[in-house]
């Protein structure tokens, strides 16, 4: 995938909607602890998504 631009998507099950709503409401406070890149990589790792970090950022 090197050299190609792309996109990504995550879905959420209905059983997790309340947690997602809470996350969105608390997002500003949540991100005071760490930046977007750190959280995004954490999500990829948590969900066993294979990636090359060189492909993630421009």
SS (H, E, C) 2-53: CCCCCCCCCCCCHHHHHHHHHHHHCHHHHCCCCCHHHHHHHHHHHCCCCCCH
Q: What is the pLDDT of residue 24?
A: 86
Give residue 34's domain range. 14-48
Residue 30 inside a domain? The answer is yes
Q: What is the pLDDT of residue 21?
A: 92
pTM listed for this prediction: 0.57
Residue 40 inside a domain? The answer is yes
Residue 32 inside a domain? The answer is yes
Structural domain count of the chain: 1
Q: What is the pLDDT of residue 3?
A: 56
- Cβ-contact 4, 58 below 8 angstroms: no
Residue 27 inside a domain? The answer is yes
Residue 18 inside a domain? The answer is yes
The pLDDT profile of the chain, 58 residues, written as one tens digit per residue, is: 455 667 777 788 999 999 989 988 988 887 787 888 888 899 899 989 999 888 888 7
Residue 54 inside a domain? The answer is no
Residue 53 inside a domain? The answer is no
Residue 58 DSSP SS3: coil
* Rounded Cα–Cα distance for residues 50 and 29 (Å): 29
Residue 55 inside a domain? The answer is no
């Amino acid at each position: 995938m090197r050299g190609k631009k792309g996109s990504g998507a995550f879905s959420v099950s209905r059983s997790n909607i309340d947690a997602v709503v809470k996350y969105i409401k608390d997002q500003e406070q949540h991100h005071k602890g760490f930046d977007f890149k750190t959280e995004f990589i954490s999500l990829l790792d948590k969900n066993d998504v294979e990636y090359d970090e060189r492909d993630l950022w421009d």
